[in-house]
Amino acid sequence: MSWMEQLVQTYDENERFAGRENVEGMRALLPPVGHIVQNAQIEMTLNTDGELIQAEAIPKEERATLIPCTPDSASRTSSPSPHPLHDNLSYIARDYYDFAKKAPKGEEIPYLMYKKLLGAWAESASVSPKVRAVYRYISNHDVIHDLIEKKVLYQDSNGKLLEKWTNKDAPKPPIFNVVAGDILKSMVRFRVVLDGDDCPELWKDTALQKEYQRFFEQYFSEAEEQLCYATGKILSATDKHGKGIRFAGDGAKIISSNDMSGFTFRGRFVDGDECISIGYESSQKAMNALSWLTRNQGYTHDGRVFLAWGRCGQTPPPVFDDTARLTRRRRAAGMARPSSLKGWAESLTNALAGYRHAFKQAEMSQVNVMILDAATKGRLSICYYSEMAGEDFIERIEKWHRHGCWRQHGYDSEKGEPFVYFGVPTPKRIVEACHGENVGDAQMKLELERIFYAILQGNPLPVDMERMVLGRAVKRAVSDDYYSWRRQIVEPACSIIVRRLNLVKEEYTVALDETKDDRSYLFGRMIAVADQMERATYSREEMGSRTTNAMRYMEIFSSRPATTWKTLHKKLLPYQQKREMYGGKERKLISKIGSMFKEEDFLSDRPLDGRFLLGFYCQQYAMEQEREENRKKKAQQEEEV
C-alpha cells in the first residue's frame, strides 16, 4: 500500500478532529479539506456591519491560524492567487499601493482578485453573516490606514510605513517583534462579533469551515474528473498540491510538476498528467494529515523530519525518546520516579505493555515510518518509508531501551533538579557524545538517521560511531570537568558499546560483574581503582581543580595498557601510602583484579576495546554504592547514639 493511501486513510480515521483546536493529547490541529495552517501577524475585529472595532499584533505563540484556501492559493509562490478569507495585506487592502510600489502592468491586482473570490462566497446561498461582514469591511475601508490609526502600523515623517523601529527612547510596538522582513507581507486574520455567537474567531468556527467546503464544491465544480492514483476512485483532479508540511510557511512540496520550461519530464512525458493524476480531495487529505502528524509526533532537526505514526488512532512510542521520558508518558500521575535498576526495568515493561495493549485492541495494528527532508526550498523528498506491524515496532523500541540500558543522568526541568535513570539517552545526546556539543546540523542529521535505522532494524549502532565515542572518551578524560565528562560522554558511550555486546548475547549491565575475566574489562576496573585511590586523598578544594594520574594516562593506557600500567603504578605509590592508614582497600582490590588476568593478557600491549570503558564505569559505580552505604550506616549509628 502506498504512503499516500496510508495518509488518506489516516485522515479518514481522524476526520472527527479536523478543524478542532485544543484536543487533548494533540499539539497541532488537523486542517479540514480545503484549509491550511498559516502564521498570521495581525488580528482585526469587526462587527456585523463590517466596521472595525479593534486591531492588534498577534503574539508569536498564537500566530498559527487555520485559513480556507483554493488549489492555487495553497501552492502559490510568486503568481498572485488569493485565499478566500484571511490573507496578506497585499490582497485585503485596497490602499496597498499607496504604500508599496505601483501595481505591475499586465497583471491582475491581488486586491481585486481577493475581493472577487470573497464576494462570490458572500453572495452564495446560506452564507454566514461573518463572511458578509468581512466583505463589507474590505470593500468600504482602507485596511492599512485603519491599522495606522489603531497604532498597529506606523509611518515615518515622509508618510512611508516603518519597516524597523529606530526610536530607542520609546518602547518597541508589538508588530516589530512578530514580523520579520517586509511588514507589508503581514497576514491578517479576522474576528467578527455577532450577538448570540460564542465563536468570533473565524479560524476556529467549525460551522464556517463546512460552509466553505460547500461553497468550494459549487465554485470549482467544473474541475475535470480523473482516476486518482492514490485511492483508485474517479475524483476532481488537481496538479497543485499542498505545502507547509513541516512547519507553517514551509514552501517545500512533495508532489510538483509545474516546471514546464526546464527538464522536468526528461522526454518521458508531455505533461504531468501523463505521469500521475491525484484527486484534489486525496491530495488535501494526505498533505494535511502529514503536516498534522509531523507537528504532533514527528522529530525535526534542521528541516529533516523523523516520523512514525500508527493507524486506527494509535500512537506508537516515540523513537527518539530517552528511557526516562518514554516511561514518564505512561506513568500514572503522582507516581514517584523509579530509583533502582530493577525499578526502571519494571517501569519500561509497564510502559510498553500499555502500548502493546492499545495496538492489540485496534482494528489494524500497523506503524508507518517516514523520513522527510528538502534539498531545496521548493522540493520535499521522502528519504525513507516503511510499514511494519505495531507489535514488531514496539519490540524494536524495547530492544533499543533494554540492550543499551546503562546508568544515565537527566535533568527534570519542572522540578529544576538532576536525576539518575537506567536506560538509553536520546539519540541527540549520543551524537553529541561522539562529535561534541557543537556538532554541525548536517552531521547531526546524518548521524540521527543512522541511529534511526539501527533502532528500527534492531541492529547495533555503526562500528565507526562506537570507535569514535571510545576515542573521544579517553582523549577528553584529561581536559574536561570530571563529572561532566562522565555524564555527557562516558555514559552515552557505554550505552553504544553495551548495545552491541548484548545483541550478540554477551550479558553486560551497569552492575559490576566480578567474575568477568575479559582483558579489556579487567584493565578498565584497574584504572578505575587507581583513579579512586588518588582522588580519595584530595581535599574538597582540590576535587574541582586537580586531575588524577589515571585520567592523564587514560588515552595512552587504552592503546598500550601493560607498559602504561607500570608507569601509572609508580605514580600511585605516594597515594597508596596515604591510603594504607585506612586499610589499603584500593591496593588490595587492584591485587585481586590483577590475579584474574591470564599472564599473556596482562603482559600484552594490544589496544583495549569498548569493554575497557564498561569495566571502568562499573567499578566506579560499585565503589560509589559502597561509599553511599557506609555513609548511611554511619549516619544511622550517630542517630542511635
Q: What is the per-residue pLDDT for 26?
A: 84
Q: How confident is the model at residue 261 (pLDDT cuts 50, 70, 90)?
A: low
Looking at residue 266, what is its pLDDT? 61
Q: What is the DSSP string of 430-485?
A: HHHHHH-TT--HHHHHHHHHHHHHHHHHTPPPPHHHHHHHHHHHHHHTTTS-HHHH
Does position 415 have pLDDT exceeding 90, yes or no?
Answer: no
Q: What's the average model confidence in pLDDT over 466-483? A: 91
Average pLDDT score over the chain? 90
> Which letter does DSSP use for residue 56 in this model?
E
pLDDT-derived band at 416, boundaries 50, 70, 90: confident
For residue 220, the model assigns a pLDDT of: 78
Write down the residue that cell numbers 478569507 correspond to.
85
Q: Comparing 376 with 289, which gets the higher pLDDT?
A: 289
pLDDT tens string 484-515: 999 999 999 999 999 999 988 788 899 999 99
Record the cell numbers describing residue 399, joined without a space: 530492544
Cα 281 to chain center, whole Å? 29
Cell of 182: 517586509
> pLDDT tens across 29-55, in order?
899 999 999 999 999 999 999 999 999
* Cβ(366)–Cβ(310) below 8 Å: yes
- The pLDDT assigned to 121 comes to 95
What's the whole-model pTM score?
Answer: 0.86
Q: What does the pLDDT look like over 129-161, one tens digit per residue? A: 999 999 999 999 999 999 999 999 998 888 888
Q: How much is the pLDDT for 495?
A: 96
Section 15-19 average pLDDT: 90
Query: In this model, does residue 96 exceed pLDDT 80?
Result: yes
For residues 203-223, average pLDDT: 88
The predicted pLDDT at position 65 comes to 92
Contact 418, 411 (CB under 8 A): yes
Q: Running DSSP on this structure, what letter comes out for residue 489?
A: I
445 compared with 25, residue with greater pLDDT: 445
**What local confidence, expressed as pLDDT, does residue 634 receive?**
84
Could you report the per-residue pLDDT of 150-190, keeping only the tens digit for each?
Answer: 999 998 888 888 888 888 888 889 999 888 788 999 999 99
